[in-house]
Every structure is written in C-alpha cells, then in structure tokens.
Amino acid sequence: MFLYVIILYSYNIIYKMQAEVIGRGSSGCVVHPAIPCTGKGTLRDKISKILPKTDASKEFDMIAELAGLEQFAIFQSMPCPLNKAHDDNARIIRECKKEVFTYTPPHDLEMLIYDYGGRDIDNYHPTLYYDFIDRDNINLFNFFNSLYNLFIGLRYFRERGIMHGDIRRENIVYNRQQGVSKFIDFGIMTSKSRLLSKIGDKGIIGLKEEIPILGQYYKGSKVDGIMPVAEIIELYDLVESRDDYYIEKIDLVINNSDIYALCMELNKYIQDLRTGLLRVGRLSYNDPYIIFLNDFVLVMELALCRETRNSVISIKDLCTKYQELMATNPFLSASASANASGYIKKKKNNSTRIRRNIKYRKRKSGKNKGTRRKRPHLPN
C-alpha cells in the first residue's frame, strides 16, 4: 500500500504538473512543463512554445539549416498543431493573448516542443544573489564560466552571417545542474542574404518585416538598443534612399548587433547584482567578489565603449578578455577560502530559499519599503 502511494505521488508530480507561462518572447509564449502535441498531462523535461504559424515555420526552417548550433542554443524543436483539447491551453492562450496574440486567432497558432534548458538568467537572479551571500564558490564559478559559451556562440553566428536579433536576459537560459548557458528564442533570427533579399523586394517595409525590433529603436522608444541608435537611423535612411552603402551598413548590423546586445544585457545584469549586494551591506567594496564583479563590468564596457560606427567589434578580443577575467576569479582561489574562514555554511532547505527569494524580489521592487524594524537607540 505504501509503495502504491509513492508511485501515485510520483505520477502526479511528473504528469500532473500544471503548465505555466514562464516567458513571453517577441513572437510567442513559452510554457513549462510542456503541453504535449496530443493527449493530456505535461512533459516535465520539455517546454512548449505557442506562436503564429508563419513565425513557427520561419524559426523551424532557419535553425534546421545550422549544424552545430546545439552547443550554444536550445533549438531542436518538434512542430505540431496546437493541442486544443488540452485543459491548460485555453487558459495559457488567454494569458498570452493580451501581449503576444492580440491579432492572431487560435486556428493560426502552432506549437513547437523544445528540451528544457533551465531558467532564464533574469529569473535566476535571486539564486545567484544568495550564492554570493552563501559564498557558494562552486555554483558561482559554474555560472560565470558558463557565460563564455555565449561569446563563443556569437562567433558561431558571425561566421555564418546570421543575427539572433533578440538577445536579452529572458532569452538566455542557465542549467544549474549542468553548468551550461545557452540562447533561446530564434523567432526573429535573420541572415545577411535573407535581409538583402527582403530589402530588394520591399525596401524599407522588407527591413521592418524581417527585423521588427529595429523599428522600435528607430522610433526612439529606447535610448540604446541592439546597436547604437545612430547605426539604426543611418541604416533606415540608407535603405529608404536606396543608397548602395546600405549593403555595407547591413554587414555592420549583422556583425555587431548581437555582441552589443549581449554585453549591454550582461553589463546591466551584473551592475544590478553588485548594487544589491552592496546596498544591504552583505559584502564590502574590497571584498574579492565585488572586485571580480567590477572587473566583469569593465570587460563588458570595453566592448560597448569601443568605436562601433563603421567598424566591426572584435569577438576574438572579447573572448580573450573574458578568459583573462576568469583566470583571476576568486571563487576557486585561496583568497576566497581565506575570506570565508570562520564562516559556517548552513544547509538550507528549499522552503528557506523560496522565502528568501521572495524577500529579495520585494526588496528589489520596493514593495516592503519601510517595513523593517528599526534598531533601538542605545544610550551612550
């Protein structure tokens, strides 16, 4: 009887987990555990992406041609019709429809099934924060070491003349068990040949269709985007005027935009982390961890501050600088151990970490501002 209860409980965990939206991309919604193509239940080790059929076809066709991409990205997908019989689908579409599927009827939606590559790094931020507090050197080293794979992935993109086009925190996942970071969401990926063909056929309309995100930055909705605003404006102007120099400018956009976007995202990501660690007084300015984070920011700013107009950012130099940075990391060094001497690491259960993550998010958002107890005033 006892064995039967265990088996039934395991079945409920694996197959009865409710599918939830874990990400909203440029072209669709990501769901975990995955909704299967047919039948009920969920697939715990998979994610499903619901998106318009035209976007699903483009994403599936383009990534199918790229051998070796699996080292840098979660991309191997299985397309199938939207499982309308699944209990969770109606709820999920309602959640996503407000932002992603506003003008897409259900019969024009499709599902892609992917392997689950871990949480996106934006969602992983509280865990990383407490790894620093707990001085969890192994997990800290694994995370920062895994980011090097992203720079190698950018070199892979450049060698093949392709552009991801939507690199941001939500589109980078980290698998803590494997210590691997990868890109996801290739919904608006394009290539130089495809971009030139669209511009040749439709001009500026073709450019906006192929890389819709460029239009957001061109309209001034953001100060900085996937490249400096001047590059975007110049590219649009050249395409509109049919100046032949737009071909060379496209080369620069294809070559530089993903690198610029990744460095921007990681730079802001680590600055937010560093600010949080210093603000609560958990770490001091001369702590080896903070010194490492300062050096990390400098490496990212080296790529961002380099003159990018009419020049190509060197991904090779960026990879070399990052390797030099990791060679000085404090996580596996004697200095980190010495700094943590006398510190007794207490094992915490999952519920403790969940509670602490909630507190971190509230503190970061300012929701619990002013709720801390004030220290009593001590007489001199």
What confidence tens digit (pLDDT) does each residue in 355-367 have? 555 555 555 555 5
Q: State which amino acid sits at residue 42.
A: T
Question: What pLDDT, on a 0 to 100 scale, did the predictor assign at position 267?
Answer: 93
Q: Is the peptide bond before 33 cis (omega within 30 degrees of 0)?
A: yes
Which position has the higher pLDDT, 172 or 185? 172
Q: Does 371 have pLDDT greater than 50?
A: no
* Structure-block tokens of residue 236: 């649009």
Which position has the higher pLDDT, 148 or 6? 148
- Kindly report, residue by residue over 99-110, the tens digit of the pLDDT: 666 667 777 788
Global confidence as pTM: 0.75
- Kindly report, residue by residue over 308-357, the tens digit of the pLDDT: 555 677 888 889 999 999 999 999 864 444 444 333 333 445 455 555 55
Which of 34-43, 151-160, 217-226, 316-325 shows the lowest per-residue confidence on average (mean pLDDT)?
217-226
Q: Does 7 have pLDDT greater than 80?
A: no
Question: What pLDDT, on a 0 to 100 scale, did the predictor assign at position 354?
Answer: 52
Question: What pLDDT, on a 0 to 100 scale, did the predictor assign at position 363?
Answer: 56
Question: What pLDDT, on a 0 to 100 scale, did the predictor assign at position 94?
Answer: 76
* Structure-block tokens of residue 368: 């619990």
Domain range list for the chain: 17-116, 120-188+252-338
The alpha carbon of residue 337 and the mean position of all alpha carbons in its chain are separated, in whole angstroms, by 31
Winning range, highest mean pLDDT, from 13-27, 115-129, 301-315: 115-129
Please provide residue 176's backbone torsions phi and psi, each rounded to the nearest 5 degrees: -65, -35
* Structure-block tokens of residue 309: 């107009």
CATH class of 17-116: alpha beta
Give the residue from 239, 217, 219, 237 showing the smallest Cα distance to 227.
Answer: 217
Return the CATH number of the domain spanning residue range 120-188+252-338. Answer: 1.10.510
Question: What pLDDT, on a 0 to 100 scale, did the predictor assign at position 235?
Answer: 79
Which of 23-37, 60-74, 150-164, 166-180 shows the lowest per-residue confidence on average (mean pLDDT)?
60-74
Give the residue from 209, 267, 269 showing the smallest Cα distance to 239.
Answer: 209
Question: What pLDDT, on a 0 to 100 scale, did the predictor assign at position 372?
Answer: 46
**Which pairs count as long-range contacts for 93-96, CB under 8 Å and 24+ apart, including other chains?**
93/50, 95/21, 95/29, 96/21, 96/24, 96/28, 96/29, 96/50
Question: What pLDDT, on a 0 to 100 scale, did the predictor assign at position 89?
Answer: 75
- Kindly report, residue by residue over 187-238, the tens digit of the pLDDT: 778 888 888 888 888 888 888 777 766 555 555 444 444 555 666 677 778 8
Q: How many CB atoms lie within 10 A of CB 96?
A: 22
Confidence of residue 282 (pLDDT cuts 50, 70, 90): confident
Question: What pLDDT, on a 0 to 100 scale, did the predictor assign at position 10?
Answer: 41
Q: Does 126 have pLDDT greater than 80?
A: yes
The answer to whether the beta carbons of residues 89 and 83 sit under 8 Å apart is yes
Place of tokens 């030099």: 324
Question: What pLDDT, on a 0 to 100 scale, did the predictor assign at position 113?
Answer: 84
What mean pLDDT, rounded, does the chain reach?
75
* Cα distances (angstroms) measured from residue 24 to each of 28, 172, 303, 312, 313: 6, 13, 28, 31, 30
Question: What pLDDT, on a 0 to 100 scale, did the predictor assign at position 344?
Answer: 32
